[in-house]
Amino acid sequence: MKIRAIRVFLLCSVLAIASACSTLPGGKNAEPEIERNVYTNLPGSNGEVIAVKVDDTNAAHPQQSIEFADVVFITQVEAGLTRLMGIYSSNYPEVIGPVRSARISDIDILAQFGRVGFLYSGAQSKLRPVIAQSNLVNLSAERNPPTIYFNDSSRVAPYAMMVKPNLLLEKSDPLEIAKSIGWSHGERSDSAKKIESVKINWPNAQYEAYWSKAEKRFLLKHNGKENISSAGVVLGSNMMVIQKIEITPSEYGDKFGGITPKNHVVGQGEAFLLRDGRVTKALWSRESATAQTNWTLQDGTEAKFADGQVWFFLTDQEPEFTYPARKSPTQASNP
């Protein structure tokens, strides 16, 4: 019997026993404990972790299945553009994409998650041995057939490669199970300030997050347009993090001569936590690539995250906040 099948069998057996033992003396049933995903704190499983690199240029939109990720990282790549990396552990969509190539920054970002599956279209020859030496399981298109990585006929290459993650999970060795990488969930800080929106900038890309009272979450615009998935969902969440980092040139580059930037996620810096229509200024610190990232308020206490999908915007530029207009004394006395 395959190792994965044995694990599933054992898990089912444990669940069956737990269910049978949930009946208390007197015929009363115990309330079953709801499993919550460690990253989002939403009801859901903590399964094997995979990371998928997704194109973020205008031509790559609409992207598919980003709304099902537990965590989304936005990083700077060549020419000042951005690229996404979705972390999936509680829901594995049938198709994700469009998938693009790996970058040196991905290794440090993912090191805190453990030995996870890394899904990407390819990598330059100089970077391949570095990926091989890292604590990542290479599940790229370079090692898998077109039945798993395929081109979407409705898209134009190189923005057309998609991946079927479930087929990869069926054939791969067991991967790291979702675990905490530093943040915990709880009440919003009293220091949080109301905002209407914020713009996050890179040299040649921009995101805008604006608060929706109706949906009770921040909705996203990408380069001035509503960031709508292929399923028609406006992407966004009630938990977003603008993480100020250092971005420097690396020794790598693309085939057009562009220098690949290195997004430094080890060290310390400022951050802005967006939740509940408000922003809280915070600090982040990470001792090493394999260490967790710590999130604190300016008084040294822990900064708590809201429940929901977590978006990380990694940038070295100051965000541009729009705050609600202040009411005049007359408006305040006559609401």
pLDDT per residue over 141-187, tens digit each? 999 999 999 999 999 999 999 999 999 999 999 999 999 999 999 99
Residue 152 and residue 198 in one domain: no
CA distance 178 to 64: 22
Task: Compare 31 and 283 and report the one with higher pLDDT.
Answer: 283
Residue 147 and residue 223 in one domain: no
Q: Say if 273 falls within a structural domain.
A: yes
Mean pLDDT of 125-150: 97
Q: Say if 120 falls within a structural domain.
A: yes
Q: Say if 186 falls within a structural domain.
A: no
Residue 28 pLDDT > 60: no
Shortest CA distance to 21 belongs to which of 33, 35, 10?
33
Q: Say if 251 falls within a structural domain.
A: yes
The answer to whether the bond into 98 is cis (omega within 30° of 0) is: yes
Q: Say if 54 falls within a structural domain.
A: yes
**Cβ partners under 8 Å of residue 329, min gap 6:** none
Given 105, 137, 171, which residue is the final one in a domain? 171
Residue 54 pLDDT > 90: yes
* Interval 254-272: pLDDT, tens: 877 889 999 999 999 999 9
Q: Say if 119 falls within a structural domain.
A: yes
Residue 205 and residue 164 in one domain: no
**Cβ partners under 8 Å of residue 85, min gap 6:** 51, 52, 53, 54, 72, 73, 75, 106, 109, 110
Residue 6 pLDDT > 70: no
CATH number at residue 79: 3.50.90.10
Residue 214 and residue 290 in one domain: yes
Which residue range forms the structural domain that includes residue 86? Answer: 50-171
Quick one: pLDDT band at residue 61, thresholds 50, 70, 90?
A: very high
Task: Compare 242 and 10 and report the one with higher pLDDT.
Answer: 242
Q: How many CB atoms lie within 10 A of CB 210?
A: 16
CA distance 237 to 257: 36
Residue 201 and residue 312 in one domain: yes
DSSP count for the chain of H helices, then E strands: 5, 21
Least confident of 31-35, 173-177, 210-214: 31-35
Given 141, 171, 201, which residue is the final one in a domain? 171
Q: Say if 9 falls within a structural domain.
A: no
Residue 130 and residue 235 in one domain: no
Residue 251 and residue 294 in one domain: yes
Residue 226 and residue 297 in one domain: yes
Quick one: pLDDT band at residue 12, thresholds 50, 70, 90?
A: very low
Quick one: pLDDT band at residue 32, thresholds 50, 70, 90?
A: confident
Residue 51 pLDDT > 80: yes
Residue 200 and residue 317 in one domain: yes
Given 117, 139, 171, which residue is the final one in a domain? 171
Q: How many CB atoms lie within 10 A of CB 156?
A: 12
Domain count, the chain: 2
CA distance 298 to 306: 18
Residue 115 pLDDT > 50: yes
CA distance 239 to 185: 10
Residue 17 pLDDT > 90: no
Residue 94 and residue 162 in one domain: yes
Q: Say if 43 falls within a structural domain.
A: no
DSSP conformational letter for 60: G
Residue 158 and residue 232 in one domain: no
Residue 207 and residue 317 in one domain: yes
